[in-house]
Amino acid sequence: MVNQIGVVKNKGKKTKKLIKFFIAIFVFFLVLILVFAAGYLLKKPSEMIEIILENPLAGIVSANTNDAGVVDVEKVIEQAVMEFDEDYINFILVALGTGYLRKSIIGGNPLIEFDLEGEVWSSEIIKGMPNSVLGGTDKEDLRISISKEEAVKGILSENREEFMRDSYLAGRTDFEMVAGKTELFAKGYLDMYNALNGEEIIA
């Protein structure tokens, strides 16, 4: 009887030690994961990824340029507004600074919804490069509202980044941050916003 009690006690001690050992391993790996996640979330890119796209209005501008080299800007804008497609969206998004955006382990690739006076597009940003399709999304991080005419003027501008910055500051382009600040920060939106706005958002 005494021997049986001793065996039971020894088994109990071994079980407790085993449980403590597995808890210690679990805590160690949990801390590692948390440190990795925190480092990933808090890191900022050393610099913006440079994305170079061919100007989608090049053909329209060429077709509306006379022999003297004078461009009929009004006709270019009118035609471009009628032919507006995903290449225009991608070009504008790059001008707005999608090179700052990056994938997050929490929410995946950045998703932007683009509202062109009721015509809605959505764009997934992969390594700074936008991939735009007609139609909205219910998972957008950011919603941008702009008129087609303003977007075309931005594409035609010699300094597109400056034009889009001025358009935003003047209220002709509107940003609505849909996702929470932690996710926006993790994906680089705050860097993009700060570059446009010229001042930092306090997270």
Write out pLDDT tens, residues 99-149.
999 998 877 999 999 999 999 999 999 988 999 999 988 899 999 999 999
At residue 11, the pLDDT reads: 57
pLDDT for position 7: 47
> What does residue 197 show for φ and ψ, rounded to 5 degrees?
-85, -25
CATH code, 58-197: 3.30.1050
What SS3 class is residue 64?
coil
b/e string for 15-26 if b means 16 or more Cβ within 10 A?
eeeeeeeeeeee
Q: What is the mean pLDDT of each run of 10 residues along the chain (203 residues)?
A: 50 70 75 56 57 88 91 94 94 89 88 94 93 92 94 91 88 91 88 72 43
| Dist CA 88 CA 202 (whole Å) | 32
**Residue pair 112/144 in contact by the 8 Å Cβ criterion:** yes
pLDDT of amino acid 155: 92
pTM of the model: 0.71
d(CA 66, CA 64): 7
The candidate with the shortest Cα–Cα distance to 147, out of 171, 129, 166, is: 171
Question: Positive or negative CA dihedral for 148, 171, 113, 105?
Answer: positive
For the chain, what percent of residues have pLDDT higher than 90? 43
Q: Where are the alpha helices (DSSP H) in the chain?
A: 2-42, 58-63, 73-82, 86-96, 148-156, 160-169, 181-187, 189-197
Q: Where are the domains of the chain?
A: 1-43, 58-197
Would you state the pLDDT for residue 195? Answer: 78
102: left (phi over 0), alpha (psi -120 to 50) or beta: beta
